[in-house]
Chain A
Amino acid sequence: AQSVTQLDSHVSVSEGTPVLLRCNYSSSYSPSLFWYVQHPNKGLQLLLKYTSAATLVKGINGFEAEFKKSETSFHLTKPSAHMSDAAEYFCVVSDDNFNKFYFGSGTKLNVKP
């Protein structure tokens, strides 16, 4: 069975400082992993995806994530936070046919001026 655990329900950073949102996964086979972002009153948007290619994945808006099999982690990072990054972020794992998707409980990112 597949699942993801987002280790922080809330993260607060100052504008211009690095962002780290943590995600650990559990999967019985080589997983496909995703990060989605949900801005208030907007639909979920795909940030980036890992599908067994390069372990360092670059996404939109300067975000990237690194797949670490030994640590079963897929943490999301950004070198410098912007006010517009304030949103809720979800880590997602899918089965190998992309027929089922499992979302984490989400991390709310607050960016302080």
Chain B
Amino acid sequence: ETGVTQSPTHLIKTRGQQVTLRCSSQSGHNTVSWYQQALGQGPQFIFQYYREEENGRGNFPPRFSGLQFPNYSSELNVNALELDDSALYLCASSSRDTTYEQYFGPGTRLTVT
């Protein structure tokens, strides 16, 4: 059984640029959630995708958007990057029957300069 994988591991971008982060779900999981974890803080829920549609959203602006593909992998896109977007971005997958049991990936560390 393959766990949740994320790419890239680290990324450095300049303010105003756009970034795409990728996540592959654990085998058999069809629900993906994305989180932002700033240094020294708890993860903040960005959104959740199920069957390629956004299924729930946290308090993040529209420049944070996502996609889920038929194979249940997912992308997080952030436009017009700001310095405060620097954080660890976590992806978590779960099955629809046990959506509460999330399996987290190792994260992508994004630095915005």
Contacts and interface: CB of A to CB of B under 8 A. Distances in A.
A77 B105 CA distance: 26
Given A99-B48, A104-B42, A51 B104 contact: no
Nearest to B44: A103
Contacts of A43: 3-4, 90, 103-107
Contacts of B104: 43-45
Q: Interface range on chain A: under 10, 10 to 19, 20 to 34, or 35 or more?
A: 20 to 34
Contact of B101 (A42, A46, A97, A102): A46
A32 interface: yes
A44 B35 CA distance: 12
B95 to A, nearest CB: 11
Interface residues of B, number: 25
A29 interface: no
A32 B106 CA distance: 25
A44 B100 contact: no
Contacts of A34: 100
B33 A101 contact: yes
B99 interface: yes
Interface in B42-79: 42-45, 48, 55-58
